[in-house]
Homo-oligomer: A and B are copies of this chain.
Amino acid sequence: MNKHKLTMNEFIEIVNKKLDEYLIIQYPEDLFKSMRYTVLLPGKRLRPVMCLETCQMLGGDFQDAIPTACAIEMLHAQTLIHDDLPCMDNDDFRRGQPTNHKKFGESTAVLAGDALLTFAPQIILKFSQNLTPETQLKILNEYVQYAGAYGVIAGQVVDIESEGGKIQSNKEETLKYIHIHKTSDLFKLSIRTGAIIAGADTEKLSILTNFAEKLGLAFQIADDILDETATFETLGKTPGKDKNAGKLTYVSLHGIDNAKCKLTCLFNECYDILKQYEIESQVFTDIIEGIKQRVKI
């Protein structure tokens, strides 16, 4: 029997429905409203979709991965809330709407971010009862590894340190470090957990980690390009902010043309990996082609 494979839009719909369900407003209402606000802003839901699709394309039951996929989107929202704070990137708009602290005030935004950081693994623990305890622990291990001081937060710290042209040596290495941790780590978390839930072996896990790293790097380079070339309407946030802050980006280091060239290479490498290991995925193709279209390559 040829089982129907879910499309990107079908996955997005599932994720949106579940996120809404998981984030019921309770007392203190402002806290839950603030958590919901950023999590439920319309978005591409790339990370949860990657988690569900990885599980699906490896022959697993994507239903088992829904709590984890949604937890990763919550974690992603947490990074956005705290990144946008006045003491960080100081952004007023996100996905075309006022940022969390603009809407709810700074103290609530800090606490909503904190709350999401533990709410996310709580969703995994609460709704993954059909996974074995060992698999649940594996998933949680991935979560703390990529969400924490060795993961996305390390990337954010170095990103902020790079502002104002403060990085003078090893720029190339520092940039790669920032991109790997700030962006690829959440892609790795999404793809690896999807694979673990599908029962992938160590070899497949390692191949997919490599794939996730490249896809994350590509995504971040695309983001760097769009920061310089897109309008507020396309971005949903203020463009040109990285440049004005003197941040280390792929574009500031190599220029737009080289960035587009690197992006094409990375996407080709991603396709090669899938092809080499005979992994067929319309969803990942759609994700990659979607980014290509946005940056016009």
Binding site for B on A (CB under 8 A): 26-28, 30-32, 35, 78, 82, 85, 87-88, 105-108, 110-111, 113-115, 117-119, 121-122, 125, 133-134, 136-137, 140-141, 143-145, 147-150, 153-154, 156-158, 160-161
Contacts and interface: CB of A to CB of B under 8 A. Distances in A.
Given A119-B149, A153-B31, A153-B115, A137 B125 contact: yes
A121 B107 contact: no
B149 A115 contact: yes
From DSSP, what is the main secondary structure of chain A's interface residues? helix
**How many protomers of this protein does the assembly include?**
2
12 contacts: A26-B150, A85-B107, A88-B110, A108-B160, A114-B153, A117-B148, A118-B143, A122-B141, A125-B141, A133-B134, A137-B137, A140-B140
Given A31-B154, A125-B141, A148 B118 contact: yes
A190 B231 CA distance: 51
Closest 4 CB pairs of A and B: A118-B148, A87-B106, A133-B133, A115-B149
A32 B149 contact: yes
